[in-house]
Structure formats: structure tokens, C-alpha cells
Structure 1
């Protein structure tokens, strides 16, 4: 067995000019970029997968120069193809050991390998071999020593990298004003997303009167927007990661502005429903892109915590503004309900202009020519499978209780079965693509087989951080099921049971929006000081108590006894879980997965919303059908709220179980994402 190259690093490394294949490893603590030349004249690196074209495997050691060679190996990684996880492992090694260790990478091959020339090392030296003479090596060392005195930002530009052009710790430099502007623009986008929903909900009666529409059609004006956005989030998240988040954001805001304006000119209900569906496509593009932009622009720490908290605050503020503006414009303007669409179209234009001026271009993933096509291909079959499955499932959840025979209706049963089967096929297809990607063969000419695209969603992502990624997604599902169903039934309780007008209902729910904004401010400040388990438990407990208060509410008692504390506590779940959850997801996701991970988060929240409302509606209808003639319907409303409370308590218990020992969500310390990294962090005494 021979060695293609054997490299030792301590503080910096400058690659020879002839080196064409470069592997970049970051020192997270020092900000220095280490460039290790693996092999002259080739190499392959697609998002960190594979290194040297003609080399069988890669050996990675942590190397202590003060120990003998036989005892210096501390962390071996032998006989494994270098995939993205191994790349991330290497980037974290220097952050743990750079003070007293060196990193040794060795390409191993049985043939056509050229050993490094021997050279005495001087202390914790920098050593390399690239078929150079001793004189060349002396000159190279002198050059490296002179470059080491330069600032890291200059040293990092000495050699190109086939991995991200901007490394994790070397974010694009921007002014404070530009950074604040970017966060505010992303927040405005979240503001628009929720405002588009609440403004329409309050104008539905006016729309129905103008078009003399059937109530069953009116609900689709509301449902078309979240249905289309929820089904396309995963696809749009992958495309944003692949082709650029800024580009995805700008395309999404353009679609939103165009179709929001078009909604204001709709002349019948069917046209309005179709246009609302196209609106949702714009939202599906912007929300994952926004999450990816924030995660990519701010490193873990206080700045990221504040950015995500501010972004989350856009939801309650947008919901409050949408309800108030929708009601006021409908009553006070000649265009009635159309005015709210014109207003939000104008706000979308502001989002586009702000994004164009403030968002960085972000990372550009560079690939070797012989694998560029395979890396940048999109799994369109997977995109079709999951989109079709979500359309069917969300449709069934929305129609199950209103169909002629409810859940016994034949087409409801058929569509549900087909939707579940499509989910199963999608999971198998993603597993197969990931398996092929991890063991992708080479063609006879030395290029890699690119006949199959990378998976749309790697199933290994769900096992990230000891399975806590999947746990966060489950908590999101349960929390949104609880809160959104609670909101749905509270509005019906106030209007249909108590007899309040829509405007009076908005006034009674207004503390919810204020409390949501305060919760976001709290978690933005405390995300670097309070553990994940405390934040999520507080949030889910607050929502559970709110549901409990309405499950035992007495209509004869003053609003301040039951309703006000419930309204204040209810929003704690979604706001605290959203901010802490997105921070945690961003931290355990790789740089090229940020938008996809955010899309998974949003998709599960969307499905949770539909599931919570559907299940609680089933309970409500069953209780109502068993009521005697003329019996008070309060019992049905209470039963629905008990269902919401069960969702909230389940999410709280899950938080207590899975987040034991987890640190603060805004911490800078890296998160274990695979067994190799877990071993390193355990040696360092770290805790995920």
C-alpha cells in the first residue's frame, strides 16, 4: 500500500501552485482556513463526496507531533468514502484540538501513488509533499511562514476550494445596517405570509355576499393558499439550496406580488381559488429561502438567535395586522375585500426591493466538471411523489368532515389510501437514492456515474443529532395541531356560541399578538442562556394550559377570568417552539441543507395545522350528534378543546424526554451529526 500524499498541519497551510484538487478544512475557533492539497492533477469533490479521482480511500488522523508515530493516532477514519458528513467531521477536528494537535490526511491507493518526499520537520511544522525538490520545499516553507503572519482573511484566499467558496465561519462581510435591513426584510416576508391568511379569513363573508357563493366553496379560498404552499415547501427548499436562496426568494416574492394583485381583480370564486393557489407557490419559495438565508448569514450565537426571533415575530404581527387591515378595508373602502389584496401586493413589492438590496449572494457550490451534472440534478420523481402525496392528504384532511358521508365517503377513503401509499413510495425512493449516492460507482473512464440524482431529502437527516431532528419535527407537528385548532375553535366559540361580531372577536384575541411578539423577544435574548428543554417545555405547557382553560370555560364568567389568560398563554407554544426549533434545526443541518431543513419544519407545521383542526372537528361533530334536542352546544366546544389540550401535553412530554442534556439552542458549540463526530465530541466532553 502506498501513500498518494501525507500532509501535516498546525496553524496554516498554503498549497503549491500546481495543485488542482484542494480539500478545505476550517478551524472554527481561530477562523483560519486550512487548505490541504490531496493530489496533483485531479480529484473530485461534490458537496464533499469523494476526494481523489484515482484513490481508493482516505485516512484521517489527529496527530500529536510530540508523540511517537505509533502512539500519535487519535482519530482514524479508514477505508470509507469521503462523504459530506466526513467533511463536516474534519472541519470540526481543528476546533477541538488545534491548540495541541495537527491534522494528518492521507490518500491511500494500491497503485499509481507517489509518496511524499522526506523532510525533517521543525517543531510543530507544516509538512507536505507534491513531487517537489528539497529546494522547492524550502522555498515553499519560507513562503508559507511569511503568509502565516497575514490576517486569516488574506491567507484564506491563497488557494481555491472545490467546496463552498465561503466557509462556515467566513461569512460574507456586511455592515450592521445591511444586516439589520436583511433581517427586517425576512421578517416582513413572514409578516406577509401570515397576513395573507388572516386578512382573507375576515373578508370571507364579504366575498361570499358579492359572488353569492356556496359556503363550501368559500372555505377553499382559505385552503388553497396553505395547501399549495405546504405541498411545495420541500421541493422549493431543495431548489433554494441548490440554485441559490436569494434567487429563490426573489422569484417567490415576484410570484406573490403578481398573484396577490391578481386576486384583487378576480371576478368569480373559482378564479379567486386558483389565484390563491398560485399565491401559495410564491410562499413555498420564500419561506424556506428566508430560513436558509438567515442560517447562512449569521453564525451560531447571539446574532443568529436575535435574527431568528425577529423573523418569528413577523408571524403574530402579520396575523394581527392582517385581521385588522382586512376588516377595516372591507368596511371603509369602496373596493371592500379587494383592497386588502392590493395592500399586500404593495408590501410584497417592498419585500422584493429589500431582498434585492440587502441579501448577500451567499455560497456558490463549485464542483468538478466531471460530476457537476450529477450534483446539480434535481430528484423530480421524488418531488412529484411527495407533492402529490401531500396534496391528497391535505385535501382529505380538509374535506373528510364536509363530504356527503364524511369519512365513509368512497373518494375520501380512496384518496387517503393513495396519499399514504405515495408517501411510502417516496420514502423508499429517497432511501434508494441515498444508498446509491453513498456507494456510487465509477465509469471506466474515471468519471462518476451520474445517471441518478441526489435524493430530494436524505433519510439520514431524520437521525441527525441522535434522532433529535425527527423529535423537533414531531414536536412542531403536535404544537401546531394544538395551537391552530385552539385558535379555530376559539373564534367559533366567540362568534357562534357567544354571539360576538368578527371585529369584537379580533379585539378579544388582540392580546395574543402582543404576547407572541413578547415571546419572540424573550427567546431571542435568552436563546444563548436558557436550555432547549426549558424553552420548549415552557412553550408547550403554555399552549396546553390555554386549551385547558377553554375546555372548562364558563360563558357567564368575565373575559378576564378564563379567556384573557388563555389568549396570552396560547401563543407561547408556537412562538417559543418555532424560534428554538429553527435555531436547533439550523445548527444540526449542514450548510447546503438549511433551506430543505426549514422546509421540512414548515411542512410539518402545515400538516399539523390541518390534522389538528380535522381531528378536533371529528370530536366536535361526534359530541354534537349525541346531544339531545335543544341541549347546550358548549359541551362540544369543550370536547374540541380537550383534544387540543391532549396534543399540547403530548408535545410537552416529548420535549421533556428528548431534550434532556441538550444545551442552549443558540450556543456556538457544534452539534454531533454522525457517529464519527459524536466520538470526537465525547472525547472533548461536549454535550449535544
Structure 2
């Protein structure tokens, strides 16, 4: 029988026959119906946009990805001030940032699949509206409990809107140079937003009487731009039908597994006893069991999908995205996790150095870190201009190797070093590994995934980055505290200078650990991936089409 046909620029509905291997796609790509000729899938066409509309839509996506990055960094910068206003302990104030990251990581995979099934524009609009409303309301929260609730809701909104955005890029932008540039552009937006968020947060906290509150208000108001652009330009989703099937059991299993895993890492940093807290191993075990249950169910659903009489929902994650036959994808997931483990942990420990050791104000720290706005943007442009001419394997390997210098410099810097002697150079090269991995990885995954799996494929990629950050920060923090305690143990009654010296030694050890993460990513990509073809090579360009035929 014929396989599912790819719908080109047409305004008519396509009816195609398919066998059991394609049956599971019916619920996400169109409407399934029985006819005299056999099972038929009515596939809704994809409306193509002009290049000018794609450019305007792209600016909205760049803005959106920048705002989500800025939201994370602004929150981290505001934590000391929020803790002082609400009279919180260091462990309590960490929950403001952790609540957002927990829900973000927990719901991302589920949201990606729901966007593929029920419509990416619907997911995009819901996510943008949620991001706008939750940030604006966060501005006026009077206590920790209410602020935590709305930061958690902001995490859910981010988990919905980013996979929807990536899926929209993967489905509306033609495969090849244009799609590659689009993914490189949102990477640039994320880098610029992260650096800009640090500087803006420093200015608002330092120079306004409302300190941290305008940070959330500004994010909420700026979200109006991508919301309006998306409403006007993103084509309407197909009408909802009653035959949409979702693997809710699998969604519960993987969502709970990720939530418990991230919760364990969070508690290890917020509880006084750290990893010695008695219930943390139990949480890890339950998380592992839920993940095993999820993997088993996905395998069973994939087998059932090959039967014409199948009435079960499709797998939450297509096996084509995680099979060992697609070794490059598995390498990209692990390498991106390692890259983000380094990048985010790097900034956490740099903040500790600037605030706790060098005693800088939020504005002074933000000003020092603001160079990453320009260096991150420049790195993203370099990646965008080279990634269609050079093998992504080479780009990612070189990017990671360049970024190794950043944590190494902070691991060896002296406290009396001038800014231009060490910090400046570290911050100038920090973004190359992240930008190369995200831009190349997003493009390869988008071109490998079938058209109806674009959002869940992006969600899987983004989830690997979130898990990498959580695991990397937990390990680096464990290294940092162990070295710090070891240094303090040599003093019977340590003075303030000796405590400060022990803290510096711990921070240096953590940066060496971060250097190991990014070096691991370079080794994995350089020696683990196969092939040296460019992204516009026919092997990559046709992988998405091949995926829909298998």
C-alpha cells in the first residue's frame, strides 16, 4: 500500500491509504476513516507563508525564546532581594526558581505531544497567554507561597509554548538553509535574552524602588509581541475531531518520573543535610521505576500500532527519535545535556563568586555579565553563517572545545585579577558550545522527525537540556560543597578569611567539573556521531520524509 503522502502547497485535502505501520500517525496528522478501499487518512494541508511573513514570524519567535531565557536569569538575579523582602532563608528562596524549573521540565514532553495532536497554534497561543498573565500576576504577589504558585504556572506556560514554537518552525519553514537559519536565530534570541535579562534585572533591582517586581512585569508585557505576531501569521490548525487519542498513562508516568527526578536534585540543594536527607534515595528509586514503566508502555504501544485493528493511542514519543539506529540523535541528546550542564552551572557559580566573594552589587554583576549579550549574539551569527557550509559535527565539536576555556579560566583566576585579564575572555567564548549544539541539534532533529512529530521531537530535545542542567548543577554543587568542607576541616575555628578561602576553593572545583561536562560533549560529538555531511546534504534533507515512511 501507499505510504502517507507529504502534502505540499495545496489547498485541497489529501486522502491516502496506509498500512499498520502508519496507523499510529492518524491521530496526530489528520482524521482516520474507513472506506471501501481500506483504511484512509485524511491529511490536512500545510499552508505555506511568503518569505516576508516567515521573516516577521521569525522575529516573534526570536523574541519569545529571548523572553523565556530572560525570565530564568532575571529570577535567579532577583532571589537575594526577594529573600530579603520576604525574610526567607537561602533554602526557601531557592524554591522561587525551582518551582518554575520543576513544572517546565515535567510538562515539556507532554505539552509537545499535545501540540502535535491538537494543534501547534493552539498550544502557542495558550502558552504565550499563560506566560504573559503569570508574569504580570507574579509582580504583585505578597508572599513566598503565592509567588511560587505563579512561577510554577509560568513554567507550565513555557513548557507549552517552546515546543509549539519549535514545531511551528519545523513545519512552516522549508527544510534546508531557511529552517537552519530560523533555528540559529532562536538560539541567538535565547543567548541575547539571557544576557539582557541579567543586565536589565541588575538595573531594575538597583535603581527602582520596586526592586525585583518590575522584572516579571516587563517579561509579561513584552510577551504581547510574539503573541500578536503568532495570532496574525501562524496558519489556523485543522478542526478538532473526536478521534484524537493521547497516551495519558504514558504522560503520567514520564511526567511523574521527571518531576521526582528534578525534585530530588532541587531538595539536595535546598535541604540543610543535602544528599544525606533520608528520603532522597527513595524518590530516585520511584522516579526510575516510573521511567521503566513508561519505556515498557511505549514499546507496547509501538507494537500495537502496527496492527490494523489497533484502537490504542499512539506512543507519546515515536521510537524513531530514540532508537539506536538514529545514533546521531542519541549523541545530540546526551551532548546537549552535557553542554547545558556546563553553561547554566557556570553562571550559577560565577554569581556566587561575584556576590558572596567579591561582594558586587546586582548592577555591577549584571554589567560584568552583560558582555555575553554581544558575545552570545556574535557566536549565534557565526554558527548561523557557517552551519550550512560546514558539517554540523565539526561545528558542534569546535564550539564545545572553544567553550571549555570559560570554566577553566574561572577555575584558575585569582581574586585580584582585573576583569579584562580573565572574566572578559571567559564570557566572550562561553556561548559557542551552547549555540552550536542547539542550532545544529534542533535542525537535525527537525529534519529527522516526521512532520506530525515536530513539537514532541523539540520537546524531547529541550527536556534533555533541562535534565542536563539539573543533573550537572547537582553534581557540581556536590563537588563544591565537598571541597569547601574539606578545606574548612583543616581549621579548628576558621576565621572569615579562611571561610572565604574555602568557598573559593569549592567554586574552583565546581568550575573544573563544568569544564569536564563541555569536554565530554566535544568528545561525544567528535567521536560518537557518524557522517560529515552538511545540513543541506540530501541525507539530512530527506530524513524527515523517510521518517514518515517507516
Q: Same fold (TM over 0.5)?
A: yes
Q: Please give the alpha-carbon distance, in whole angstroms, between the structure 2 residues aligned to 1:458 and 1:555.
A: 50
Q: Note the alpha carbon deviations across 1:174-220, whole angstroms, 9 max, x for none.
A: 23332111101111111110111112222222222222222221111
State how far apart, in whole Å, the 2-side matches of 1:546 and 1:643 are: 12
Please state if 1:287 is matched with 2:162.
yes
Q: Secondary structure at the match of 2:413?
A: coil
In the aligned structure 2, how far is the partner of 1:189 from the partner of 1:32?
30
For residue 383 of structure 1, the aligned residue among 251, 254, 277 is 251
Deviation per CA, 1:382-408, whole angstroms, max 9, x where unpaired? 111111111111011111144243212
Please tell me whether residue 652 in structure 1 is matched to residue 522 in structure 2. yes
Do structure 1's residue 551 and structure 2's residue 411 form an aligned pair?
yes
1:307-328 alpha-carbon deviations (Å, 9 max, x no partner): 1111111112211222222222
What is the deviation of 1:266? 0.8
Q: Distance in 1 between matches of 2:383 and 2:179?
A: 12
Q: Is 1:661 paired with 2:527?
A: no
Distance 1:569 1:163, change over 3 A: farther
- Cα distance in 2, alignment partners of residues 23 and 434 from structure 1: 17
Q: Do 2:14 and 2:44's aligned partners in 1 also have CA atoms closer than 8 Å? A: no
Contact 2:7 2:14 in 1 (8 A): no
Give how far 1:459 is off.
Answer: 3.0
CA contact (8 A) 1:24 1:36 kept: no
Structure-1 residue corresponding to 2:260: 392
1:489 aligns with 2:349: yes
- The equivalent residue for 2:288 is 420
Alignment match of 1:574 (pick from 434, 449, 452): 434
Distance verdict in 2 for CA 1:36–1:518, change over 3 Å:
closer
Which of 182, 191, 196 is 1:307 aligned to? 182
Relative to 1, partners in 2 of residues 1:470 and 1:578: Cα closer, same or farther, differing over 3 Å? same
Alpha-carbon distance change, 332 to 508 in structure 1, aligned in 2, over 3 angstroms: closer
Please report how far the alpha carbon of residue 356 of structure 1 lies from its aligned counterpart in structure 2 after TM superposition.
Answer: 0.1
Rg (Cα) greater in structure: 1
In 2, the alpha carbon distance for the partners of 1:342 and 1:406 equals 34
Q: Is 1:275–2:154 an aligned residue pair?
A: no
Asked whether the equivalents of residues 135 and 220 of structure 2 are also in contact (C-alpha less than 8 Å), the reply is yes
Alignment partner of 1:251 is 2:130: no
Give how far 1:662 is off: 3.2
Q: 1:173 aligns with which of 48, 63, 67?
A: 48
2:200 to 302, 310, 325: 325
1:225–1:279 CA contact under 8 A, matched in 2: yes
Q: Report whether the alignment pairs 1:409 with 2:277.
A: yes
1:182, 1:358 within 8 Å by CA — same for their partners in 2? yes
Match of 1:524 in 2: 384
Higher helix share: 2
Deviations 1:571-618 (A, max 9, x none): 111111111110111011110111001001111111111111110110
* Equivalent of residue 345 in structure 1, options 208, 213, 220: 220
The count of residues paired between Structure 1 and Structure 2 equals: 527
Q: How does 1:91-106 map to 2 (within 5 A)?
A: none
| CA apart distance, 1:366 | 10
Q: Distance in 1 between matches of 2:12 and 2:245?
A: 30
Q: Which residue of 2 aligns with 1:235?
A: 110
Change (3 A) 1:344 1:584: same
Q: Is the 8 A contact 1:162 1:366 kept in 2?
A: no
Change (3 A) 1:490 1:536: same
Query: Would the alpha carbon gap of residues 555 and 32 (structure 1) be closer, same or farther in structure 2, given more than 3 Å must change?
Result: same
Quick check: 1:479–1:574 contact (8 Å CA) kept in 2? yes
User: Which structure 2 residues correspond to residues 433-512 of structure 1 after superposition, within 5 A?
Assistant: 433-438=301-306, 440=307, 442=309, 449-450=310-311, 452-463=312-323, 466-512=326-372
Higher relative contact order (CA 8 A, sep 6+): 2
TM-score (normalizing by structure 2): 0.89
Q: Which residue of 1 aligns with 2:511?
A: 641
CA–CA distance in 2 between the matches of 1:618 and 1:288?
32
Structure 1 residue 329: deviation in Å? 2.3
Deviation at 1:560, TM superposition (A): 2.2
Q: CA RMSD in A?
A: 2.9
Contact 1:316 1:517 in 2 (8 A): yes
SS at match of 1:173: coil
Asked if residue 622 in structure 1 is aligned to residue 474 in structure 2, the reply is no
